[in-house]
């Protein structure tokens, strides 16, 4: 019992310290008109709360490229840009509880140094000069904690920056906050015993996703122009599920394209299904800027797992895809395991229409052995996960969270959680057998893709797969059914980019008639669907390319995004 008291005390002290790191004046001003918790859609609050003046609204609602141009031309200073985003991040925090570490003083000092440099030399220090960038809690900043949702990691400040933090700063980025994650990092929702739950700004009764739920909520509220989310590839959710839940763009690069060294993680030493870092932003342009800035910094000289591959303008311009003239997309309508809800299918239908109208081809994708792949990945994670959680939580005595449902400490019935136990633990040799099986499945899947050359009519295999990000839009807290639609691409290490397409529409997204079901989860998901439950939830799609095809996926996604925008403007 003493231990239990101790972890709760540690957690509440940490949370109090967090509150104290926010300027009191800002909190006081927000306190006067903060919406009640019953107000679900809080996306318009930043514009009306009064904490941001007109110029600060312009700054925070500017796209990344314009923002960088205005700082580089001297129109805006790095400091005023930073202050604007710090304010808006505080607004986002009050609305959705999305932050962990808050270090505005450090940010103001960095921004002032950049302004001083610019004043002295007339030049920018790097391609991200003056751009505030938020980081998922896993990315270590010297002197600050990376608790990653574990009480055990409170008060263990990092001894050095993660490689990514150093690289971003060397390019002129201003780091200012870190963002919330679920305990163990292995949930597609965001809640832990220190900072609590992060809410979805589009509808606060819904999850912001996970494990980068904090980043998703913050970027969606424009409390950050660019967020770096590190996804323990784990349940395959990170970056993309929060992006889709909250309505931002997000990119999942392949293993090693973005440096990961020096980040905190769960299941450390698991070398098979690797963690990746990826950006979230409100435009594809933000994602591209991030990837290019990072790759141009040659991360491989600092991180042994970073892939030594320069930015390829040739690949970005789609040299391997007929210069983007007539692409052939394949839509995966469902994965043969769970049929997506009506809004998700509508998102895909809209995308198909838009691409056909833009002169591209769209065919159907045949999913290959998804269930086998899901089982393989689950077995790899659970091989040692139970010991991992136990060892980490034993230090503080906090319990391992068993459900993401609010107000519960018991095992819930939802199948979304990744709940390993000592029964799922296996020997190293057994692990190798599962990993061998996975390698064979990866080879089969790549051949399956390559074989589409016979049906596209372009002389190439399918240029990109279009598919759901999840079987539903952001669901109510604790009810996520699975993370299969993202996990599949982690398992295969394919590059995947999330594009927001629309929002749930009460008239258009009514329940569709269905006959047979794949399985009981599929049936439950169908039965649970009701457009009212998902009011205002963003709808998104994934654009998927093969391994280490970040440049091509960015290039192709710009074409998809433009087609969707052209369709909307009609």
Q: Annotated catalytic sites, by residue? A: 136, 211, 238
Binding mask 144-173 for a second copy (x = CB under 8 A): ------------------------------
What residues between 372 and 401 interact with a second copy by CB under 8 A? 383-384, 387-388
Q: Which stretch binds a second copy (CB under 8 A): 166-174, 222-230, 266-274, 555-563?
A: 266-274
Min CB(357)–a second copy separation in Å: 30
Check: CB of residue 302 under 8 Å from CB of residue 533.
no
Question: Which residue lies nearer to a second copy by CB, 307 or 400?
Answer: 307
Does residue 439 touch a second copy according to CB under 8 A?
yes
CB of 261 closer than 8 Å to CB of 305:
yes
Which range touches a second copy (CB under 8 A), out of 119-127, 332-340, 367-375, 419-427? Answer: 419-427
Stretch that binds a second copy, among 197-205, 421-429, 465-473, 477-485 (CB under 8 A): 421-429
Closest CA to 188 of 155, 235, 227, 226: 235
Give, as one character, the DSSP assignment of residue 102.
Answer: E
CA torsion angle for 261, 264, 266, 271 (degrees, to 10)? 10
Query: Of the candidates 238, 270, 479, 482, which one interacts with a second copy according to CB under 8 A?
Result: 270
Token couple for 108: 């103001």
Residue 488 CA to residue 503 CA, distance in Å, equals: 24
The answer to whether residues 365 and 336 touch, using CB atoms and an 8 Å cutoff, is: no
Site string for a second copy, 204-243 (x = CB under 8 A): ----------------------------------------
The nearest distance, CB 442 to a second copy, in angstroms, is 4
CA-to-CA distance for 560 and 117, rounded, in angstroms?
Answer: 39
Among 116, 323, 443, 451, binds a second copy (CB under 8 A): 443
What's the burial of 176, exposed, middle or buried (CB within 10 Å: 0-12/13-18/19+)?
buried
Place of tokens 């971003």: 168
The interface with a second copy within residues 292-311 (CB under 8 A) comprises 300-305, 307-310
Pairing of strands 328-331, 276-281: unpaired
Tokens standing for residue 463: 């240029």
Report 481-540 residues binding a second copy (CB under 8 A).
Answer: 492-493
Q: How far apart are CA 217 and CA 89, in angstroms?
A: 10
The whole-angstrom separation of Cα 490 and Cα 274 is 8
CB of 450 to a second copy, least distance (A): 6
Which of 1, 31, 410, 428: binder of a second copy (CB under 8 A)? Answer: 428
Tell me which residues touch a second copy (CB under 8 A). Answer: 261-262, 267-272, 300-305, 307-310, 312, 383-384, 387-388, 425-437, 439, 442-443, 445-447, 450, 461, 492-493, 546-549
């Amino acid at each position: 019992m003493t231990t239990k008291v101790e972890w709760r005390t540690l957690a509440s002290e940490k949370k109090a310290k967090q509150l104290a790191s926010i300027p009191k004046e800002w909190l006081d001003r927000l306190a006067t008109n903060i919406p009640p918790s019953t107000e679900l859609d809080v996306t318009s609050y930043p514009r009306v709360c009064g904490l941001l003046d007109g110029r600060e609204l312009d700054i925070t609602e500017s796209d990344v490229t314009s923002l960088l141009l205005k700082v580089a031309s001297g129109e805006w200073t790095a400091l005023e840009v930073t202050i604007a985003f710090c304010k808006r991040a505080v607004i986002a925090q009050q609305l959705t509880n999305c932050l962990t570490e808050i270090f505005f003083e450090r940010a103001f000092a960095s921004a002032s140094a950049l302004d001083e440099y610019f004043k002295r030399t007339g030049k920018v220090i790097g391609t991200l000069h003056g751009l505030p960038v938020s980081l998922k809690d896993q990315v270590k900043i010297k002197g600050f904690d990376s608790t990653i949702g574990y009480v055990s990691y409170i008060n263990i400040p990092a001894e050095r920056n993660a490689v990514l933090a150093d690289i971003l700063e060397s390019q002129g980025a201003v780091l200012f906050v870190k963002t919330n994650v679920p305990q163990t990092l292995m949930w597609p929702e965001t809640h832990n015993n220190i900072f609590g739950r992060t809410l979805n700004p589009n509808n606060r009764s819904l999850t912001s996703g996970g494990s980068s739920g904090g980043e998703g909520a913050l970027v969606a509220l424009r409390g950050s122009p660019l967020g770096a989310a590190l996804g323990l590839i784990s349940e395959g959710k990170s970056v993309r599920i929060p992006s889709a839940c909250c309505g931002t763009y997000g990119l999942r690069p392949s293993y090693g394209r973005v440096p990961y060294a020096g980040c905190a993680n769960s299941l450390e030493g698991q070398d098979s299904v690797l963690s990746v870092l990826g950006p979230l932003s409100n435009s594809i342009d933000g994602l591209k800027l991030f990837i290019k800035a990072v790759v141009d910094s040659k991360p491989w000289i600092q991180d042994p797992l970073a892939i030594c591959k320069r930015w390829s303008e040739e690949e970005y311009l789609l040299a391997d895809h007929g210069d983007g003239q007539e692409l052939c997309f394949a839509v995966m309508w469902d994965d043969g395991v769970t049929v997506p809800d009506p809004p998700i299918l509508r998102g895909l239908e809209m995308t198909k229409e838009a691409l056909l109208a833009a002169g591209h081809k769209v065919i159907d994708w045949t999913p290959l052995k998804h269930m086998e792949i899901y089982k393989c990945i689950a077995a790899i994670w659970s091989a040692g996960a139970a010991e991992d959680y136990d060892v980490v939580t034993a230090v503080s005595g906090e319990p391992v969270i068993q459900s993401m449902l609010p107000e519960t400490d018991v095992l819930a019935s939802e199948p979304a959680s990744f709940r390993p136990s000592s029964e799922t633990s296996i020997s190293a040799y057994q692990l190798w057998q599962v990993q061998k099986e996975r390698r064979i499945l990866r080879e089969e899947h790549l051949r399956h893709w390559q074989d589409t050359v016979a049906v596209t009519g372009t002389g190439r295999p399918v240029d990109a797969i279009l598919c759901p990000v999840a079987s539903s839009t952001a669901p109510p807290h604790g009810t996520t059914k699975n993370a299969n639609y993202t996990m599949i691409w982690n398992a295969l290490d394919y590059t995947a980019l999330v594009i927001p397409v629309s929002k749930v529409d009460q008239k258009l997204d009514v329940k569709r008639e269905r006959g047979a079901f794949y399985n009981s989860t599929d049936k439950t998901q169908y039965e649970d669907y009701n457009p009212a439950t998902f009011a205002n939830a963003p709808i998104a799609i994934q654009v998927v390319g093969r391994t280490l095809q970040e440049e091509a996926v960015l290039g192709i996604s710009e074409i998809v995004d433009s087609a969707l925008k052209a369709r909307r403007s009609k």
